[in-house]
Amino acid sequence: MRGMDAPQHASPPSPPGEDRFSSLALVNTELNLPSGPYDGLTDPAATDDWLARKGLVDHGTRTDARQTARLRDLRTALRGLFEARVAGARPTRESLDRVNEALAAAPGTRALGWAADGPCPVVRPAPGDPVDAALTRLAEDGADLLTGPEARKIATCAAPGCTRMFLRSHAARRWCSDRCGNRVRATRHYSGRKADAPS
């Protein structure tokens, strides 16, 4: 799989939480790299690739320009809600409305499944356009994160210039990745300031 992640090769490893919350991964498709700003959803082809890699659509699904624009808008709105949660503030009305529109657009149907080890919840995607259904799933994922027990762990990387968001694996964690932590320590070291602050 890693070899397929060509656009990500220059970015640090995925921050904690992205593996479980696709909404967090969506927010982090826009980031600053040493080479400059990076956007993983620049056009429909990049969007197809990202959605398929996240398992939100089948490979070969085609996204149109309007859906790409809606996904980017949802990304902005989710970041607004996550940052508001971090700050203990109210998000903008627009961010909340945007996420609620996505929630209502193509909701799946709850069903009861029965796996080898017993009953399990199943969500059947809404019939119709698979990309619309994927956008709704991303909004649901964000709503689940914000209203679930892990909401208090949402954090923005404290490294200067880094905007990635993650879930704190422990209370003192401040960086999205070791790379950011090391970069900040190196900067402190070279600027002659005390380098003995806790990481």
Can you tell me the distance from the alpha carbon of 167 to that of 174, in angstroms, rounded to the nearest whole number? Answer: 10
8 A C-beta contact, residue 108 and residue 124: yes
Nearer to Zn ion, 99 or 157 (CB): 157
Can you tell me the distance from the alpha carbon of 131 to that of 153, in angstroms, rounded to the nearest whole number? Answer: 29
Nearer to Zn ion, 135 or 180 (CB): 180
Angle between helices 65-87 and 93-105 (to 10 degrees): 130
| Side chain identity at residue 13, one-letter code | P
Nearer to Zn ion, 17 or 130 (CB): 17
Q: Which of 21, 180, 183, 184 binds Zn ion (CB under 5 A)?
A: 180
Nearer to Zn ion, 61 or 163 (CB): 163
CB of 157 vs Zn ion, minimal distance in Å: 3
Q: Which of 134, 135, 145, 176 binds Zn ion (CB under 5 A)?
A: 176
Q: Map residue 61 onto helix, strand or coil.
A: coil
Burial, 160: exposed, middle or buried (Cβ in 10 Å; 0-12, 13-18, 19+)? Answer: exposed
Structure tokens at 13: 């490893």
159 binds Zn ion (CB under 5 A): yes
Q: Which of 41, 99, 146, 157 binds Zn ion (CB under 5 A)?
A: 157
Q: Of 35-43, 98-106, 152-160, 190-198, which part binds Zn ion (CB under 5 A)?
A: 152-160
Which residues would be at the binding site for Zn ion (CB under 5 A)? 157, 159, 162, 164, 176, 180
